[in-house]
Amino acid sequence: MKILVFFLIFLFFSTSSFAEVQRIISLAPSVTEAIYYLNATDRLVAVSNYCKWPEEIKNKTKVGGMINPSYEKILVLKPDLVVISKDVTPKEVYNRLIELGIKVHVYAPKSLEDISNELIRLGIVIGKEKEAKSIAYEFQKKLRKIRKVFKGQKALFIIWADPLTVAGKTSHINEVMNLLGLTNIAEFSSINIERIIKMNPDIIFFGVGHKSSVSENLILKLKDTNAVKNGKVYYISDKIYHLSPRIIEGIEEMTNKAKTWIK
């Protein structure tokens, strides 16, 4: 009988705790994507200015940037929880939110493998543990199916054309490149044009969101590389940028480029 009473009390408080998390604010695209996969988009009362996907969040209230959100807007919305990304949101923002009496959860995957654990952590916090474990399991299955479709070709992933910013060895995009059998020529996130020409990549990826006259001019400057000479410059969507289950689609985009390469 005592065990039953204890269980009922535990269930009450657990359910109450989860029930409280009905008004969520996301301060990063990766967080918004994770919440979508947990089937909790309806609980989002606001998102950051940089959150563009899924379609149903387009009309959500925007509360500013990932590093400079509007605390006034956040307070007015009376969230039960604000979820930030450790990658992009500075500790000062976290501290300020805590000072304002707002509950904060830090979504902090550092690698592809971390995504599953971070999904489950987030799922537990918002009362979606079952869904989180299911999604995490499916994500791991898909991750295990990734094959080295390239053959060690030298590659460069350009995140931003001006200032020139690339995916270095410590980035998760480098991890993706390794999984696909590519050799990343960039050690760090910054690299100059002379270095790129010297390293002579066989293939260059660009973030599609940055396709512009600036990126086109950069390609002209790299005209002597194998990648440009052989027409192996590809634009990849922002699906590859965010550490959420959606990244699998970005990896598939890069995989499809291997078919073009083989041709």
Distance separating alpha carbons of residues 147 and 187, to the nearest angstrom: 23
Residue type, 139: F
* Cα→Cα distances 7→4, 14, 15, 122, 129, Å: 5, 10, 12, 23, 18
Residue with more model confidence, 235 or 214: 235
pLDDT beyond 70 at 12: no
Q: Looking at 36-88, which runs of residues are DSSP E strands?
A: 44-47, 61-62, 81-85
Task: Give tens-digit pLDDT for 51-89.
Answer: 999 999 999 999 999 999 999 999 999 999 999 999 999
pLDDT score for 222: 96
| Phi, psi angle pair for 177, to nearest 5° | -60, -40
pLDDT score for 2: 44
pLDDT score for 74: 98
pLDDT score for 17: 46
> What CATH superfamily is the domain 154-261?
Nitrogenase molybdenum iron protein domain (3.40.50.1980)
Sequence-distant (≥ 6) Cβ neighbours of residue 174 within 8 angstroms:
157, 167, 168, 184, 186
* Cα→Cα distances 192→54, 174, 186, 198, Å: 35, 18, 10, 10
Per-residue confidence at 19, pLDDT binned at 50, 70, 90? low
Per-residue confidence at 260, pLDDT binned at 50, 70, 90? low
Task: Give tens-digit pLDDT for 126-137.
Answer: 999 999 999 999
- CATH fit for domain 24-144, picks 3.40.50.10440, 3.40.50.1980, 3.40.718.10, 3.90.550.10: 3.40.50.1980
pLDDT score for 257: 79
Task: Give tens-digit pLDDT for 166-216.
Answer: 999 999 999 999 999 999 999 999 999 999 999 999 999 998 765 666 788
Sequence-distant (≥ 6) Cβ neighbours of residue 58 within 8 angstroms:
52
| Pairing of the two strands 104-107 and 183-184 | unpaired
Question: Taking all residues of the chain, what is their mean pLDDT, rounded to a whole number?
Answer: 90
Domain with CATH 3.40.50.1980 in the chain: 24-144, 154-261
Per-residue confidence at 14, pLDDT binned at 50, 70, 90? very low
Sequence-distant (≥ 6) Cβ neighbours of residue 12 within 8 angstroms:
none
Residue with more model confidence, 162 or 92: 92
